[in-house]
Structures are given as C-alpha cells and as structure tokens.
Amino acid sequence: MTSTARLLAFGDVHGVQYLGVLRASLKSIQPEGLHAILLAGDIIDRGDVSSMSMVLREITSRFKDVPIVSVFGNDEYHEIEDYLIKNFSYVIWLNDSVTVLKAGDVTIGIVGSRGSLDKLTYWQSKNMPQLETVYRRRVGVLRKLLEEVSKVSDIAILLTHYAPTYQTIKGEPEKIYPYMGCRHLEEVIREVKPDIAIHAHAHNATVTEAVIGFTRVYNVSLPARKGVTHISIAPRVKLVRMDAGAQR
C-alpha cells in the first residue's frame, strides 16, 4: 500500500487572538489532495462561541469538502459542547470517541478527546473537582479506543487538546507540566503504538515534535508553531506474527 494521507492540524486559535496567524499560514497550503483538517481545541476563547464561525469560515472558504475533525479544549467550556455540536454539525466533534475517514485506499482512524492532566488546575480544583476522577478514567478509555481503532484502520491517530506527554511542552515552565499534560498517556502511546499523536495547549513550547516508541507526537499549537502544521503519513507495515503450527 503506497497511499499517503495528507493532514492539516492546529489548535489554540483563541478566536480573534491568533486568527491573523491562521489566515496567513493557510494561504501557503495547497488544498489539492488534503484528506482531513484536525482541530486540537481552544479554537474559541473563553467560551465565546461567536468566534467559531470566523475560524471555520477561514477553513471552509479555502478547503471545500475536506472533513474537519475537532476536539474540545479547555476554552470550549463543557456547558457549550451541545451548542457547538448542534450549530456546527458539519464538524466531526470527538469527545472520548472515534471516527474513521477514507484517504484514497487508506483508512484513518482518529480517537479524539480533551485529554487528561496529571494535576487539576487551581480553577478546576475549586470549581470542578470531579475532573480528577474523569481524567484518571479517561486514560483507560483512550487506551481501549486506540486499541480498537488500530484494528480497523491503516493509520491510527490520537487527537487531544492537553498534551499526552511532557516532551512536546518543553519551553513552558517545568513546574506547570502536570497542569498541561498527562504522562500516563505517554505510557498508553508507547504500548498501543498509534501512528501519530496530535495535541495543542502549550503555547510557549520550544520543542513541538517528539517520538515515543513508534509514534511521532506533534504539538500543533498555533502560537507555538507560528502557523498550521502540515502532516503527511503513509501506513506503517504491520507485521503478522505466526505461531509455529501456522508456519508449517
């Protein structure tokens, strides 16, 4: 199989704050042959749903009929999730869920989630302490989803807002790493071996790519990258292990 999937990914637009950066960087991307656009959360700023239309218009005006897959970030507040899903129904919203897309003769399985944190932020501890349980359980949920999607897809992708490793948030103060990502998800990536993992959230990261085992991890935060991230990926050859009886 020689087909290559061509993806565009970004997060942390924060409405009008980085809209100009997004607009400028999209101009350099050729729309032909693009298979999917992946949004890694914080597309709007502080729950302001009015800016979602502006951001999506920048995408759809240039990339017509290209699937848009998005997860929620911490600025897509929990209470506006239903509004976003209903009013922007042409976006494939993933919330601890899966979608499978076609890229020619290649299937792309995407597991999407806000992700998890090793420690709750001060605001979360005060206002939503139940998130501690949600984050712990989510690691297991994402492991199971990745295992399942890897069986039915040529290319498996983990898409989150929070970082699934500390490696791609370097540049941020070390003391806040536990409030930005989850090292337990790094263990999941190493063991389940998705083809790529994509996240945002770390605006000030100076290291935006890393490799965990067989998996390349991309921090696609718009302010960190100073633009969108273009990813081309071909399916890995998957070896089938045969027992001694089958070999004979």
pLDDT of residue 78: 95
pLDDT of residue 56: 97
pLDDT of residue 230: 96
Q: Which SS3 state, helix, strand or coil, does residue 190 take?
A: helix
Q: pTM here?
A: 0.94
pLDDT of residue 243: 44
pLDDT of residue 248: 34
pLDDT of residue 242: 43
pLDDT of residue 237: 65
Instruction: For the chain, state the CA radius of gyration.
Output: 18
Q: Please, what are the domains in the chain?
A: 5-234 (3.60.21.10)
d(CA 177, CA 27): 33
110 near 70, Cβ under 8 Å? no
pLDDT of residue 238: 58
Degrees, nearest 5: CA angle 158-37-85: 80
Question: 């027992």: which residue's tokens?
Answer: 243
Which residue ranges in the chain fall short of pLDDT 70? Answer: 1-2, 237-248
Distance of CA 174 to the CA centre of its chain: 22
d(CA 150, CA 154): 7
Quote the DSSP letter at residue 33.
Answer: T
Quote the DSSP letter at residue 165.
Answer: S
pLDDT of residue 1: 42
